[in-house]
Structure 1
Amino acid sequence: MAKQKMIIDCDTGVDDAQAIMMAVSRPEIDVIAITCVNGNVDIDNVCKNTLRVLKICDSLHIPIFKGSARSIVHYDEDASHVHGKDGLGDVPDALDVNLNCIQEEHAVNALTRLSKMHEGEVKLVALAPLTNLGLALRMDPDFSRRLKGLVIMGGNMQGKGNRSTSIASEFNFGSDPEAAYIVLHEMKCPITIVPLELCLSQVFPWEKMVECLDLNTRKSTFLQDITKASVKRQKADREPGFCSCDAQAMAVAIDSSIVLKSVDIFATVELNGNLTRGMLVADWRDKLKKSPNVTIVEKTDPNKSLSIWKSMFY
């Protein structure tokens, strides 16, 4: 069978790193590019972190493209308090990566070009603020028609946010609400959303986490180092297992059969509310009388998800 071509758009922090490692470890997936965007940390650290991850995976043949350094309407916010100032847990960087490996072509141009080169074949996985995608749609309105599908980690259905500056929005949507709005309203390919609530409920058991981190392989040692602070914080919060939002989205992108429950619905993004700006708004009662534009994943198979996640350690 032909491999599934995939482009990953990310702001490489700890969970993005896991998602990338999951994708490149799967023989059925062909990651043809990684596009970087400002988000968890600044764009330069995102690019460097992506190089570090690909080097660990012996996958430096995958081209990396530097994208937008700020959101469409700029806000000074990042997630360094979660991922570390460098985005990968602030552990000593023993990997010698060459930033000259970053492609000269801008990520937005690469997205539109690759969609033409591989029309109808590419699954785009968005793990970050959607700035690059929003700009690609503005530059080339037909960009999304050429994609096979889009999987997004982002949005929240219950109004419980995880941003330091908002009580109601999820980080990726809240960091660039305009871009999220453009994507939901203008993307013409199938859109699957893996929301914050699913990621928080679908955690990896601590005993499985320890089992994988103790494999004493190059990958497991790297993951043990970069997740150390995250594990400590989540255990202090008495979480029932390890939460990795981007890993959950990537599992759905790799194998859609893990989805046990989903809903097709019309959804938009709040742009104007003082307290709700950036919040995903789903029309649960069909008040707007609009056709569904997204599929929101509500439940996944925990055993299949765990199996896909574990594959990155080997």
Structure 2
Amino acid sequence: MPNDGQPIPVIIDCDTGVDDALALLFAVRHPGLDLRAVTCVAGNTDVDGVVRNTLTVLEQAGAPDIPVARGAGRPLIEPARSARHVHGEDGMGDIGLPAPTRAPADVDAVTLLRREILASPRPVTLIPTAPLTNIALLLRTHPEVTRNIERIVFMGGAVACGNATPVAEFNVWHDPEAAAILLTAEVHITMYGLDVFQQVVVPGADVRRLRASAEPGARLAGELLSHRPATPDVGADSEAGGIGDAGAVCTVVDPAGVTTRLLPVEVSLTPGPTRGQTIVDRRPRLGESELHTGTRDQRLVDVALDVDVERFVKLYLGTVESV
């Protein structure tokens, strides 16, 4: 939270999605955040499903009438490739959520992003938890928005192992060109990648407590956590669940909860097994390649390398159960 104690204006761009839903629940309920808009993009499921899921989650969370807009239905170049095998046929773990009664905004995602960013009386923190197609279109169509963006904290990429491929994380792999465009933005960028994403796991006892809650939003968080999207091996605690994308929103509220380093990052756009990889240069000095051919034009990004798991779990639970 800013030193003046005022809530941070944020916009979430998502592909809701089990863990995007967990992120929305947290953002709606944390007093240090002012969620001004949500924009939707194809990713975990098709874009119309993402809009439906987003509206349902906001209703279940008891959120005010936050504008939600439909965005890109496919990546900039390639066809859409969903993650329904992880998130279920409906993108929400097939837990039987009702259809929303709310309606999306009557403008597209890029228009809504521009409008809300420029209208905010304080610089906005943009939190993409999805393929970066909408963000790339925004930056290319309306570059003036960067003057009122405080920073971009995106869930995507990986320093070590990927999940879509051995080296590429799903959000970046789904639209590598869009991710490369993001890295051209003249704003402060934080990468909350798989290296920390996979660490923050809520213990099974807490998941069971949430599922038993009489409060709809907390109960929904428990149901989503029990689906455990992309959670690492949790051993004997079979009911534990990862907060996933919600960790990126926790990072905005509590940046001291992650350990970051300012490092050069670029996205591999080459066809083949490295496509979509975020190449993070952790070397202490230039290598032979740079010495012989010159340095590459790499963007310096705050890369999250470690996370205080207990701190973020406590922050997440304390927020979603605060109503």
SS in 1 for 2:252: helix
Please list the CA deviations of residues 198-249 of structure 1 after superposition, one character each: whole Å capped at 9, or x if unmatched. 1112322223322333333222332333444438x95987486422320111
1-structure distance, mates of 2:236, 2:275: 28
Report matched runs for 1:260-299 at 5 Å. 261-285=259-283, 286=286, 287=290, 288=295, 293-299=300-306
**Alpha-carbon deviation of 1:148?**
0.6
Report matched runs for 1:1-314 at 5 Å. 1-93=5-97, 95-98=98-101, 101-118=103-120, 121-158=123-160, 160-163=161-164, 166-184=165-183, 186-230=184-228, 238=235, 241-259=240-258, 261-285=259-283, 286=286, 287=290, 288=295, 293-310=300-317, 311-314=319-322
Name the TM-score, length of structure 1 as normaliser: 0.90
Letter in 1 for 2:104: I
> Number of aligned pairs?
306
Name the TM-score, length of structure 2 as normaliser: 0.88
Cα separation, partners in 2 of 1:119 and 1:278, compared to 1, 3 Å: farther
**Alpha-carbon deviation of 1:37?**
0.6
1-structure distance, mates of 2:75, 2:231: 29
1-structure distance, mates of 2:172, 2:299: 19
Cα separation, partners in 2 of 1:212 and 1:264, compared to 1, 3 Å: same
Please list the CA deviations of residues 148-189 of structure 1 after superposition, one character each: whole Å capped at 9, or x if unmatched. 11101100111x2212xx3321000000000000001x1111
**Alpha-carbon deviation of 1:30?**
0.7
Are the aligned partners of 2:199 and 2:307 in contact in 1 as well (CA < 8 Å)? no
Are the aligned partners of 2:73 and 2:80 in contact in 1 as well (CA < 8 Å)? no
Which stretch of the first structure deviates more once superposed, 300-309 or 221-230?
A: 221-230
Q: Report the RMSD for the aligned CA atoms in angstroms.
A: 2.2
Identity of aligned residues (%): 31
Letter in 1 for 2:321: F
2-structure distance, mates of 1:109, 1:27: 27
SS in 2 for 1:293: strand
Please list the CA deviations of residues 92-147 of structure 1 after superposition, one character each: whole Å capped at 9, or x if unmatched. 23x34236x10111111111222221265211111000000000111022322320
**Alpha-carbon deviation of 1:289?**
6.6
Q: What residue ranges of structure 1 are gaps of 5+ in the alignment?
A: none
Letter in 2 for 1:246: D
Q: What residue ranges of structure 2 are gaps of 5+ in the alignment?
A: none
1-structure distance, mates of 2:33, 2:261: 26
Are the aligned partners of 1:270 and 1:280 in contact in 2 as well (CA < 8 Å)? yes
2-structure distance, mates of 1:64, 1:223: 20
SS in 2 for 1:281: strand
Letter in 2 for 1:34: V
2-structure distance, mates of 1:98, 1:173: 32
